Amino acid sequence: MLKIALTAGHYLGTAGKRCLKALDPAETREWVLNNRIADKVEKLLTAYEGYQLIRTDDTTGKKDIGLDARINAANNFGADIYISIHHNAGINGGKGGGIVAYTYTKVDQTTKNWQKALYEALIAETGLKGNRANPLATANLAECRKTTMPAVLLELGFMDSVTDLPVILTEEYADQCARAIVKVIVEKGGLVKKPKTLYRVQVGAYTDRTNAERMVKTLKNAGFEAIIAEG
């Protein structure tokens, strides 16, 4: 059973964490972008079995859950992977940017494998490679340092880039990111698709077999499975 800790970085009220107003008059908050992707990851995963998942952030965005609280929740849960979703800034209206995947400065090969797989899947889905010199980066980040499981912090494009921002604001981009993250979780976690549920519908009972056969033929012509059951 794969245990997943997922978090959307920050919250609605985090100071300064928003898109550059000159490029996005609505100044979309970073948490909105982060949470949109996290929600889509959760939804896509419901098609699979073999995992448990917790969100360590406040999914309404209204409450600021501190980093230590998020980390402790993941550690106490006994998560096998911790994925933190963020969007970057620091270009100040310039070009370029792209996706960056962070781990702590000293990590094992398992963590590096998660980092590489997530980054490569995201680039394959979105094409948002950017111009970062080191997209597989390391940093002294609390979420990556204090967690007791492999942890990857994803910066999914720059909110102040003329190149990235028009892309990361779109629903399509959020869908692409979610699909990429879920693809890696499924592959590395060995998750399997849930079996399809079949629903049987009884359409009527006939005293005349000819009428019953006529209805079966009509249903089959419409693409449905149909049989005659006596009794």
Taking only the tens place, the pLDDT of each residue in 70-122 is 999 999 999 999 999 999 999 999 999 999 999 999 999 999 999 999 999 99
Q: How confident is the model at residue 199 (pLDDT cuts 50, 70, 90)?
A: low
Fill in the DSSP letter of residue 29. Answer: B
pLDDT of residue 81: 98
Q: Is the predicted pLDDT of residue 206 greater than 90, yes or no? A: no
The sign one gets for the Cα dihedral 107, 110, 111, 115 is: positive
Give the pLDDT confidence score for residue 222 in this predicted structure.
80
pLDDT band at 198 (very low <50, low <70, confident <90, very high): low
| Residue-wise pLDDT tens digits, 130-158 | 999 999 999 999 999 999 999 999 999 99
- The mean predicted confidence, pLDDT, of the chain is 94
pLDDT of residue 231: 64
